[in-house]
């Protein structure tokens, strides 16, 4: 078995609730996986094994995936997992069997996934099942969907302004965000800001559009950090390592050499194109500092 990791866009029926899907094969050696906070929930389904739900994270979780294992997975958008039918704050930082959440279809789908001709076919089986389950579920909280959109790093809105925009008190916004996402709005904003930095780094281009031309400092500001030091502190908190250690010493690629385009290109789609002067960059630094915790 050759080690590989392939990310893909979700099936059309899942695109509204899932950010990306993937197939990961470890090969002849175990693989050490560092899971990072994304703001969303993930389903990890080892072919021939028992599926798990990885709840919203506030810090890194390191997992050793055994050799000769193939895992198909789905990463959901924050606040867009109605098929789990549970308050996501109960899953915060948890790694639980999917069957424990009351889904009677798990055994039947597991048999179909195990008997699929290829890993890609197994992933298709999982996605088809999730499309059916999502169709039976209650709709996701539309207000929280709008909150997630406005909390993206390119927006720069504060939590109080967001609550007012949605017609909620800050305490109401927090309660609904905890139920639907598992994180409070400020924690979600910090997580999405970090994902924005990773998206810029994975895309291999900073605000100038030239690969590697801008460095960590410029990427930090573009993602909404006050400066590179602010990014460093948040990276240690959310990933457990420095930005350069996480990216393998290069802002053009991630350390694992995996292709994450299917995940990060849509994440960047809401970012306005930039052609900024030095004064614009100084203003961005100031505004980012004002927003920083």
pLDDT tens digit sequence for 130-161: 999 988 888 889 999 999 999 998 888 999 99
d(CA 265, CA 201): 11
- Mean pLDDT of the region 272-276: 45
CB-based contact 192:200 (threshold 8 Å): no
Residue 96: band (very low, low, confident or very high) from pLDDT cuts 50, 70, 90: very high
Residue 293: band (very low, low, confident or very high) from pLDDT cuts 50, 70, 90: very low
Residue 242: band (very low, low, confident or very high) from pLDDT cuts 50, 70, 90: very high
The boundaries of every CATH 2.60.120 domain in the chain are 4-136
d(CA 36, CA 54): 11
% of the chain residues with pLDDT over 90: 65
Per-residue pLDDT, 211: 42
Per-residue pLDDT, 257: 60
Within a 10 A sphere around the Cβ of 227, how many other Cβ atoms? Answer: 14
pLDDT in tens, 53-88: 999 999 999 999 999 999 999 999 999 887 776 789
With H, G, I as helix, E, B as strand and everything else as coil, classify residue 170.
helix
Q: What's the pTM value of the predicted model, to 2 decimals?
A: 0.85
Residue 213: band (very low, low, confident or very high) from pLDDT cuts 50, 70, 90: very low
Quick one: CATH architecture of 142-291?
Orthogonal Bundle (1.10)
Whether the pLDDT of residue 288 is over 50: the answer is: no
Within a 10 A sphere around the Cβ of 115, how many other Cβ atoms? Answer: 12
Residue 256: band (very low, low, confident or very high) from pLDDT cuts 50, 70, 90: low
Helix 119-136 to helix 106-114 angle (10° resolution) is: 160
d(CA 194, CA 223): 7
The boundaries of every CATH 1.10.10.60 domain in the chain are 142-291
The pair of three-digit structure tokens given for residue 27, joined into one six-digit string: 């090969």
With H, G, I as helix, E, B as strand and everything else as coil, classify residue 63.
strand
Please state, rounded to an integer, the average pLDDT across all residues of the chain.
Answer: 85
Whether the pLDDT of residue 280 is over 70: the answer is: no
Quick one: CATH architecture of 4-136?
Sandwich (2.60)
């Amino acid at each position: 078995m050759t080690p590989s990791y392939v990310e893909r866009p979700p099936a059309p029926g899942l695109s509204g609730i899932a950010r990306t899907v993937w197939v990961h094969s470890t090969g002849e050696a175990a693989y050490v996986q560092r899971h990072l906070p994304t703001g969303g929930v993930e389903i990890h389904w080892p072919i021939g094994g028992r599926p798990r739900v990885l709840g919203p994270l506030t810090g890194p979780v390191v997992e050793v995936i055994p050799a000769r294992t193939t895992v198909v997975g789905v990463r959901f958008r924050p606040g867009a997992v109605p098929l789990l039918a549970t308050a996501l704050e109960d899953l915060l930082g948890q790694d639980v069997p999917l069957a424990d959440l009351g889904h009677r279809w798990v055994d039947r789908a597991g048999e179909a996934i195990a008997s699929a001709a290829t890993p890609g076919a197994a992933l298709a089986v999982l996605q088809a099942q999730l499309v059916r389950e999502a169709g039976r579920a209650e709709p996701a909280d539309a207000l929280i969907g709008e909150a997630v959109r406005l909390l993206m790093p390119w927006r720069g809105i504060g939590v109080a302004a967001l609550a007012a925009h949605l017609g909620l008190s800050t305490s109401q916004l927090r309660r609904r965000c905890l139920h639907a996402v598992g994180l409070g709005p400020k924690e979600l904003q910090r997580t999405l800001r970090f994902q924005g930095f990773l998206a810029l780094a994975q895309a291999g281009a900073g605000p100038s559009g030239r690969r590697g031309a801008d460095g960590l400092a410029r990427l930090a500001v573009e993602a909404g950090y006050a400066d590179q030091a602010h990014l460093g502190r948040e990276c240690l908190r959310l990933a457990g390592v420095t930005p350069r250690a996480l990216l393998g010493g290069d802002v053009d690629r991630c350390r694992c050499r995996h292709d994450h385009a299917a995940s990060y290109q849509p994440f960047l789609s809401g970012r306005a194109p930039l052609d900024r002067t030095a004064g614009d960059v100084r203003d961005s630094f100031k505004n980012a500092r004002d927003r920083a915790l």
